[in-house]
Amino acid sequence: MTIKKFVVGCFDDEKVLFPAVKSIRNQGYKIQDVYTPFPVHGLDKELGMRDTSLHTAGFIYALLGLTTALGFISWILTMDWVQNYGGKPHFSLAAWIPIMFELTVLFSGVGMTLTFCYLCQLAPFVKKHHFHPAATDDKFVLVIECTSNTNVQEAEQFLAAQGAQEVNVQVAETGWWLGRYDMDRKLFDQKASVATA
């Protein structure tokens, strides 16, 4: 739980957003995040993010599924309870391929989705601070994190000069908390934290 101060600017168009991101970063501001209604290709690179490794996790889960299926079935059918199915060999790999394949896919898909939810902190009853309600509609919401040497007014002016339509300052919790969207819960005393920020 950390409470920080942010300067928030809303953009209408991704064509304005890209040069703005570039100059804001060049200016030395720390962009906390950009919230967009759809995946804007290239924005992650522009923000200096590295590629996600989620697919590598998926591959590891897939291997786990494959070895689980092979190990489990071969242990059952050749060691734990050996049965004679129509005189066929106990270790009949060809007949196990369907289940091995299915478990590979199942482990990979389920594992990746759970990892995705964990990394992005997504779950029912998870609540986060939303800088602008239209970030899921038609606004691209750029959020600058204020550090001890940020001049808030300057940052606001700079954002507006870059083409941001709405600029404001928000003090917000950066992480998630358990909550419901139909109820507001006061997480912290805004006045006190502004003073300390």
Partner 1 sequence: MSSINYESFVREPLVDGDKNYSKVTEEIVYTIETKPTRLWYIGFYISVALLCFGVYSIYREVVYGVGQWNLGRTVGWGWDITNFVWWIGIGHAGTLISAILLLFRQGWRTGVNRAAEAMTIFAVMAAGQFPIWHMGRVWLAFFVMPYPNTRGSLWPNFNSPLLWDVFAISTYFTLSLLFWYSGLIPDVATLRDRAKTKIRKLFYGIASFGWTGSTKHWQRHESLSLVLAGLCTPLVLSVHTIVSFDFATSIVPGWHTTIFPPYFVAGAVFSGFAMVQTLMIITRKVMNLQDYITLGHIEAMNKIIVLTGSIVGCAYLTELFMAWYGANMYEYDAFFKYRLAGPYGWSYWIMMTCNVVSPQLFWFKKLRRNIEFTFIMSIVVNVGMWFERFVIIVTSIFRDYLPSSWSLYYRPSIYEIGFYLGTFGLFFTCYFLFSKYFPVIAIWEIKHVLKTTGENYKEQMQGLEKMSPEEFYNETHHH
Q: Which residue of 78, 85, 147, 190 would you call a contact of partner 1, by CB under 8 A? A: 85
Site for partner 1 in 111-170 (CB under 8 A): 112-113, 116-117, 119-128, 130, 133-138, 141
Q: Which residues pair with 176 in a beta bridge?
A: 128
Q: Rg of the Cα trace of the chain?
A: 25
User: Which residue has tokens 């006061």?
Assistant: 186
Compare residues 141 and 155 and give the one whose CB is closer to partner 1: 141
Q: Which residue of 110, 160, 192, 194 would you call a contact of partner 1, by CB under 8 A? A: 110
What is the bridge-based pairing of β-strands 166-173 and 30-35? Answer: unpaired
Number of helices and strands (H, E) in the chain? 6, 6
Nearest-10 Cα torsion for 149, 152, 158, 161: 180
Q: Residues in the site for partner 1, rule: CB under 8 A?
A: 14, 33-40, 43-44, 47, 49, 51-52, 54-55, 58, 72-73, 76-77, 80-81, 83, 85, 88, 92, 95-96, 98-99, 101-103, 105-106, 108-110, 112-113, 116-117, 119-128, 130, 133-138, 141, 176, 180-182
